[in-house]
């Protein structure tokens, strides 16, 4: 007993106890740290594996953001892989899940913008509209939101609302001259009360001060008021409507008007409706006219595609607003030759 008390009082003993305790505590902390790290590494690997397989769930993105502190921009980049694959629902799921955890206003606005754009791309126009209207409530100068609302209202044929958006953009000093003319034209075209005749007259009137709508006017006249088209033929730059003229029915063509216009003589000679020229300044038409005279089983035919002069994307059908870059009236006609095989029992005209 005495000895123990003595030993206890021994200062050396106290130091030994202190260091032992220190060692035990450090060891335990170290081991626990190791265990924790191993566990989180395993979890992370599991997560990574799911990511490799493209199986990350919406919650995983929230997890990556909240638990692993992956930067916000990286998460957004990861989620954009869904967009590239066209899996809009999945991307929407991620944005919605993240929205519940993001508190900063700037990030919230960015997420809402992405959500609105994805709804738009996925064709959920109403939802997209609601999101962009929500953004404008707290950020009325958000150009992305205004531009998308314009596209949405145009698609929904709500042209009055589209004009309101243009007014807002105008107040923010964006140049909306072309868009305004375009929306005004669409509004007239879609007006259910105005008669075809009145529409034609008004369209011609608008065209005389705004050449940019030429293609829309020509298309309308060729469909609903052919006589007005032929009467005014000299006002149009026909190279912008070659495809429409090429596919026109024989009976709808005013050949007296055609006789006065070189490009139309070339076009309809190539088509085989008339035989008034032997060559053309347009390469494709020239080739077709030449091939008509050659005795072969092949005929060249004409096909059209359209290139957006702004984003250079190619499209098989004409659209007044480029579906790729959303600019208006930027499509340029690109005629292309195709080879047509003539059946043996079909006569060569």
Contact positions toward Zn ion, by CB under 5 A?
308, 310-311, 322, 324-325
Identify any residues that bridge with 298 across adjacent strands, giving them in sequence order. Answer: 341
**Least Å from the CB of residue 150 to Zn ion:** 16
CB closer to Zn ion, 257 vs 333? 333
**Least Å from the CB of residue 326 to Zn ion:** 7
CB closer to Zn ion, 150 vs 267? 150
Q: CA–CA separation, 21 vs 259, rounded Å?
A: 108
* Contact call for residues 189 and 219 (beta carbons, < 8 A): no
**Least Å from the CB of residue 253 to Zn ion:** 32
**Least Å from the CB of residue 153 to Zn ion:** 20
**Least Å from the CB of residue 120 to Zn ion:** 16
CB closer to Zn ion, 106 vs 325? 325
CB closer to Zn ion, 56 vs 328? 328
Identify any residues that bridge with 307 across adjacent strands, giving them in sequence order. Answer: 314, 332
CB closer to Zn ion, 15 vs 325? 325
**Least Å from the CB of residue 312 to Zn ion:** 7
Mapping DSSP onto H, E and C, the string for the chain reads CHHHHHHHHCHHHHHHHHHHHHHHHHHHHHHHHHHHHHHHHHHHHHHHHHHHCCCCCHHHHHHHHHCCCCCHHHHHHHHHHHHHCCCHHHHHHHHHHHHCCCCCHHHHHHHHHHHHHHHHHCCCHHHHHHHHHHHHHHCCCCHHHHHHHHHHHHHCCCHHHHHHHHHHHHHCCCCCHHHHHHHHHHHHHCCCCCCHHHHHHHHHHHHHHCHHHHHHHHHHHHHHCHHHHHHCHHHCCHHHCHHHHHCCCHHHCCHHHHCCCHHHHHHHHHHCCCCCCCCCCCHHHHHHHHHHHCCCCEEEEEEEEEEECCCCCEECCCCCECCCCCCECCEEEEEEEEEEECCCCCCCC
User: What angle do helix axes 88-99 and 58-66 make, rounded to 10 degrees?
Assistant: 40
CB closer to Zn ion, 270 vs 322? 322
CB closer to Zn ion, 294 vs 325? 325
**Least Å from the CB of residue 148 to Zn ion:** 16
Q: CA–CA separation, 347 vs 349, rounded Å?
A: 6
CB closer to Zn ion, 120 vs 229? 120
CB closer to Zn ion, 63 vs 178? 178
**Least Å from the CB of residue 108 to Zn ion:** 31
**Least Å from the CB of residue 327 to Zn ion:** 5
Residue bearing tokens 């690997």: 45
């Amino acid at each position: 007993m005495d000895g123990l008390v003595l030993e206890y009082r021994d200062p050396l003993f106290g130091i030994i106890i202190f260091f032992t305790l220190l060692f035990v505590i450090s060891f335990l902390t170290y081991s626990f740290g190791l265990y924790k790290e191993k566990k989180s590494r395993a979890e992370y690997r599991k997560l990574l594996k799911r990511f490799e397989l493209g199986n990350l769930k919406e919650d995983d993105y929230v997890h990556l953001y909240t638990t692993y502190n992956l930067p916000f921009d990286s998460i957004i980049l990861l989620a954009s892989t869904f967009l590239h694959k066209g899996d809009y629902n999945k991307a929407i799921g991620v944005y919605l899940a993240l929205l519940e955890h993001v508190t900063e206003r700037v990030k919230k606005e960015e997420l809402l913008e992405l959500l609105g754009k994805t709804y738009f791309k996925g064709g959920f126009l109403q939802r997209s509209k609601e999101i962009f209207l929500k953004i404008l409530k707290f950020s009325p100068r958000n150009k992305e939101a205004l531009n998308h609302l314009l596209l949405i209202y145009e698609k929904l044929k709500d042209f009055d609302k589209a004009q309101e958006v243009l007014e807002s953009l105008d107040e923010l000093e964006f140049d909306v001259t072309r868009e305004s003319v375009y929306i005004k034209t669409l509004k007239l075209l879609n007006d259910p009360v105005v008669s075809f005749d009145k529409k034609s007259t008004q369209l011609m009137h608008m065209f005389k001060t705004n050449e940019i709508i030429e293609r829309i006017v020509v298309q309308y006249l060729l469909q609903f008021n052919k006589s007005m088209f032929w009467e005014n033929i000299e006002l149009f730059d026909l190279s912008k409507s070659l495809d429409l003229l090429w596919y026109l029915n024989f009976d709808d063509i005013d050949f007296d008007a055609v006789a006065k216009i070189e490009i139309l003589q070339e076009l309809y000679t190539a088509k085989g409706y008339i035989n008034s020229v032997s060559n053309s300044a347009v390469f494709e038409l020239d080739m077709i006219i030449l091939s008509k005279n050659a005795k072969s089983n092949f005929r060249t035919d004409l096909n059209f595609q359209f290139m957006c002069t702004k984003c250079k994307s190619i499209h098989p059908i004409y659209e007044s607003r480029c579906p790729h870059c959303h600019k208006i009236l930027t499509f340029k006609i690109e005629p292309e030759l195709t080879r047509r095989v003539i059946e043996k029992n079909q006569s060569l005209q």
